[in-house]
Amino acid sequence: MSDSSGSESEVDLTLTERATIVVDAIREVIPKALHDPAVAVICGSGLHHLADALSPEPRCEIPFSELPYFPLTTVDGHIGKLVFGYFGTVPAVCMVGRIHFYEGNPFDMSVFPVRVFSVMGVKSIIVTNAAGGLNPDYKVGDLMVLNDHINIPGLAGWHPLKGANDPLFGPRFLALSDAYDLELRKKFFDCARDLNLTRPIHEGVYVFVSGPTYETRAESRMLRLLGADAVGMSTVPEIIIARHSGMRVLAVSLITNEVVTAPMPKVSDGEADLSAGKANHEEVIAAANAAGADMRRLVLGMISKLI
Ligand code: HPA
């Protein structure tokens, strides 16, 4: 496999053609038993161990760097590879390390892996992420199953479906009022109950912001006022592309920090602790690592309920 993203003869290739080239390249190197994953899992920040739940045989890993058209991930905690294998009896692909909009990729390329999954025949996708809790009831380590989202960049014109529509994937005007599959959400809660998980699991609204800065206090208050329960820099573009391709979607946020919404203390308030609750990437990764085992059990249990 080689990087073939730049040659002039390829400039006019459609997304479908590019995704098909990648699928052919993948199928050249993975065993036949892995050619048709039914489920894709996108592993969020610090959640790359989800792929450890794939059975050891047959199993095959391909770094993004060996795939044509795949942008490279540049973020600590995001390794950048596809791992093919089986969750129990279910053929699956895990995307370990995701490609974010804030890394400078054009939107259609940051979601390109989901197009590739669609061409491979993936029917359901589980998208995980690390998110900041805006809802005051949410604590670090809680989970939130997404039941809706607010796409701030999308509302402002930065949308992953902007530009020519490829009808081979889906419609020009896509409805998103049913983006989060009710059946899959029910199964997720059943699964958590079967596993006797004590970790609180909420259901709520995720707001997508472009990042890479964490939010100011005033921005956080605004996002909460808009109706969001958790905030993050990923997931929504992938979900839109998955729905455009007709996949069923389950998305889960791990709350890795409690977002500071209290107004900035004024000079007249005297000395104030400004560091309290200040978000940082290390805290996000640490919280994700601590929840890794539960997330693995949930994803594994969930996938056995999908087929
Ligand atoms: N804001 C945005 N993205 C995030 C956060 C946050 O507080 N925590 C983890 N990802």
User: In 3-state terms, what secondary structure has residue 250?
Assistant: strand
> Ligand 1 centroid vs 193 CA: distance in angstroms?
27
Domain spanning 8-304 has what CATH number? 3.40.50.1580
CA of 131 to the centre of ligand 1 (A): 5
Overall pTM surpassing 0.75 (yes/no): yes
Q: Is 49 a catalytic residue?
A: no
Q: Which stretches of the chain are DSSP H helices?
A: 15-29, 107-110, 112-120, 152-155, 182-194, 217-225, 236-244, 281-306
Domain positions in the chain are 8-304
Query: Token match 């992420």: residue?
Result: 129
C-beta 256 within 6 A of ligand 1: yes
129 lines ligand 1 (CB under 6 A): no
pLDDT, tens digit only, all 307 positions of the chain: 444 444 445 567 888 889 999 999 999 999 999 999 999 999 887 777 888 888 888 999 999 989 988 887 766 655 789 999 999 899 999 999 888 888 888 877 889 999 999 999 999 999 999 999 999 999 998 999 999 999 999 999 999 999 889 888 889 999 999 999 999 999 999 999 999 988 899 999 999 999 899 999 999 999 999 999 999 999 999 999 999 999 999 999 999 999 999 888 888 877 777 777 777 777 777 777 778 888 888 888 888 877 6
191, 296 contact by CB (below 8 A): no
Give the per-residue pLDDT at 99: 84
Whether 93 contacts 122, CB under 8 Å: yes
Is residue 45 part of the annotated active site? The answer reads yes
Quote the CA–CA distance of 126 and 135 in Å, as a whole number.
Answer: 23
Active site residue 48: no
Predicted local distance difference test score (pLDDT) of residue 98? 83
Residue 188: what pLDDT? Answer: 93
Q: Indicate which residue's Cα is closest to atom 2 of ligand 1.
A: 232
C-alpha–C-alpha distance, residues 22 and 31, integer Å: 16
pLDDT at 1: 47
51 lines ligand 1 (CB under 6 A): no
pLDDT reported for residue 5? 45
